[in-house]
């Protein structure tokens, strides 16, 4: 494990990672359970709040740093990965986890997603996928089914869905997994493995939006453990992921690529020194 | 819910306690009273925590009546968890079995399903969730009775099953005293969706 996991002098529990703020999401939202999974995973790893940073963008899912006791950064739309990469490269001792949603992560931040996979900085990217823009009242997102009929997309968009796990794999993510918010312990276990795996780990969490997609309540009956085990063969993983129906859960790929971590200076330069470097 | 709270728990010195310390064989199912009661504790505690989260969510949406009901359910389940500790003479929560708790579903059987909440839900709906949870807990202990490989664990699991059956009965009585919502309870004149 390349993240900060110094053994705490006082054991820390999942509850210690919860902040004093009560989550404000729609009742029934799957994201409530994701908070639980984060806290359980952090506690299970023996992390300390002062050595853990949760970075997010914009959207319902990106509210999560406020509900955790750790360092947090609520960034701009789609740019959470850029902020997180900078943080991790400057402070490799921190455990950096990024929280996003399918709109923030795959549309507005889609380009960052691909290049973060390619760059393979040691951090964990969690995308809470509910196939809709919830915060902005239910517009179709990149993972919305093409025939999803709504007032904002009458008859459906007719646009094929983005396939995040395959994209992550093709772009070079070192760890690819799918979890379900309704299984907080299972999700926590996946997060533990994602954080422990060096490099860029991508975890898609199916997290129902019961307000705009009430039919997603049935996801709990659709998900099941993936019938295949974890592989380190990207071609095999790609074949499997391309043909699954989006409801197979588990760690589908774990590679062995070394993370990107350039040597960093001490960071003690003054602004005037930096300016000299740009002088023509 | 006071009636549920009054559901009798065996006094100290009960066979459950007397058999504590029996060798645990997780790979062969629950084989000791300690392990069984650790499961019972985890089940009650998770239920309490979940109801508290439900109450917080309802408060955030100003559904105070249902929030208070969930808060009450959380207190009851917390008390049940404390009773497990007291009964076993444990001064701190038990360690989870090696490999963690193995539930039949994703979570402990008394933990409410987050996706069943609705911001306009009424006490009747909250009690339906509670009833479902108690029924699952009843079924869980029932399955332990069938799987138990020693008489002491079987007997203790039977007692837990009976207690959960009593909880089911009490919730059903509570539901009878609770007004049933109108058919249009979920209709919001100012719905959280963009229309036109």
pLDDT, tens only, A232-250: 999 999 999 999 999 999 9
pTM (predicted TM-score):
0.87
Verify whether the Cβ–Cβ distance A26 to B196 is below 8 Å: no
Using a CB–CB cutoff of 8 Å, tell me whether B13 touches chain A. Answer: no
CA–CA separation, A254 vs A176, rounded Å?
A: 7
Verify whether the Cβ–Cβ distance B60 to A181 is below 8 Å: no
Q: Which residue has the tokens 């709040």?
A: A49
Q: 3-state class of A1 per DSSP? A: coil
Task: Identify the CATH assignment for A25-278 out of 1.10.3720.10, 3.40.640.10, 3.40.50.970, 3.30.2010.10.
Answer: 3.40.50.970
Note the ipTM here: 0.82
**Do B147 and B173 form a contact (C-beta atoms < 8 A)?**
no
CA–CA separation, A72 vs B89, rounded Å?
A: 41
Q: Which helix (H) or strand (E) holds A43?
A: helix A31-44
Q: What is the DSSP letter of A105?
A: I
Nearest-CB residue to A27 (from B106, B117, B196): B117
Verify whether the Cβ–Cβ distance B114 to A30 is below 8 Å: yes
Domain B29-92+105-176 falls in which CATH fold?
Ferritin (1.20.1260)
The residues near B63 (Cβ < 8 Å, ≥ 6 apart) are A27, B119, B120, B121
Nearest to B40, CA basis, from B162, B169, B127: B162
Which tokens is B125 given? 């709906």
Using a CB–CB cutoff of 8 Å, tell me whether B187 touches chain A. Answer: no
In chain B, what are the domain boundaries?
Answer: 29-92+105-176
pLDDT digits (tens, 9 = 90+) for B5-44: 333 333 333 434 433 333 333 334 687 999 999 999 999 9
Number of H helices, E strands in chain B: 6, 0
Using a CB–CB cutoff of 8 Å, tell me whether A151 touches chain B. Answer: yes
Angle between helix axes A31-44 and A184-196 (nearest 10 degrees) is 50
CA–CA separation, A122 vs A3, rounded Å?
A: 8
- Average confidence (pLDDT) over B50-56: 95
pLDDT digits (tens, 9 = 90+) for A189-248: 999 999 999 999 999 999 999 999 999 999 999 999 999 999 999 999 999 999 999 999
Q: What is the DSSP letter of A150?
A: B
Interface with chain B: mutation pick from A27, A30, A44, A135, highest number of B CBs within 10 Å: A27
pLDDT digits (tens, 9 = 90+) for B86-114: 999 999 999 888 878 888 889 999 999 99
CB atoms within 10 A of CB A222: 12
- Average confidence (pLDDT) over A13-34: 94
Q: What is the pLDDT of residue B104?
A: 85
Using a CB–CB cutoff of 8 Å, tell me whether B65 touches chain A. Answer: no
């Amino acid at each position: 494990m390349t993240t900060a996991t110094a053994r705490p002098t006082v054991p820390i529990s999942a509850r210690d990672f919860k902040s004093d703020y009560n989550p404000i999401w729609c009742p029934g939202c799957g994201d409530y359970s994701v908070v639980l999974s984060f806290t359980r995973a952090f506690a299970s790893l023996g992390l300390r709040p002062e050595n853990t940073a949760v970075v997010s963008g914009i959207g319902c899912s990106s509210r999560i740093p406020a509900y955790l006791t750790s360092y947090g950064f609520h960034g701009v739309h789609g740019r959470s990965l850029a902020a997180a990469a900078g943080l991790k490269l400057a402070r490799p001792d921190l455990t950096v986890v990024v929280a996003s949603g399918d709109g923030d992560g795959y549309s507005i931040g889609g380009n960052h997603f691909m290049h973060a996979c390619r760059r393979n900085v040691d951090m964990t990217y969690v995308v809470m996928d509910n196939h809709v823009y919830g915060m902005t009242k239910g517009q179709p997102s990149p993972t919305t089914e093409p025939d999803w009929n709504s007032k904002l997309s009458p008859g459906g968009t007719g646009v094929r869905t983005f396939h995040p796990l395959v994209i992550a794999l093709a772009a070079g993510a070192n760890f690819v997994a799918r979890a379900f918010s309704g299984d907080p312990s299972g999700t926590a276990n996946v997060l533990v493995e994602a954080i422990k795996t060096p490099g860029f780990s991508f975890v898609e969490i199916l997290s129902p939006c019961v307000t705009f997609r009430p039919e997603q309540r049935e996801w709990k009956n659709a998900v099941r453990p993936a019938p295949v085990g974890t592989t380190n063969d990207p071609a095999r993983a790609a074949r499997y992921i391309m043909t699954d129906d989006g409801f197979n859960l588990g760690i589908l790929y774990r590679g062995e690529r070394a993370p990107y971590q350039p040597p960093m200076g001490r960071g003690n330069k003054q602004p005037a020194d930096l300016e000299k470097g740009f002088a023509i | 819910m006071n009636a549920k709270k009054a559901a009798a728990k065996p006094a100290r010195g009960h066979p459950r306690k007397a058999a504590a310390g029996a060798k645990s064989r997780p790979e062969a199912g629950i084989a000791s009273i300690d392990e069984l009661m650790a499961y019972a504790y985890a089940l009650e505690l998770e239920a309490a925590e979940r109801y508290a989260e439900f109450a917080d969510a309802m408060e955030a949406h100003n559904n105070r009546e249902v929030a208070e009901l969930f808060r009450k359910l959380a207190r009851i389940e917390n008390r049940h968890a404390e009773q497990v500790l007291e009964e076993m003479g444990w001064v701190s929560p038990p360690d989870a079995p090696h490999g963690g708790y193995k539930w039949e579903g994703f979570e402990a059987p008394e933990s409410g399903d987050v996706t069943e909440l609705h911001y306009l839900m009424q006490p009747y709906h909250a009690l339906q969730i509670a009833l479902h949870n108690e029924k699952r807990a009843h079924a869980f202990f029932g399955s332990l009775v069938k799987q138990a490989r020693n008489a002491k664990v079987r007997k203790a699991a039977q007692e837990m099953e009976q207690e959960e059956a009593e909880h089911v009965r009490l919730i059903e009585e509570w539901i009878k005293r609770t007004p049933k919502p109108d058919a249009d309870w979920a209709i919001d004149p100012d719905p959280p969706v963009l229309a036109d």
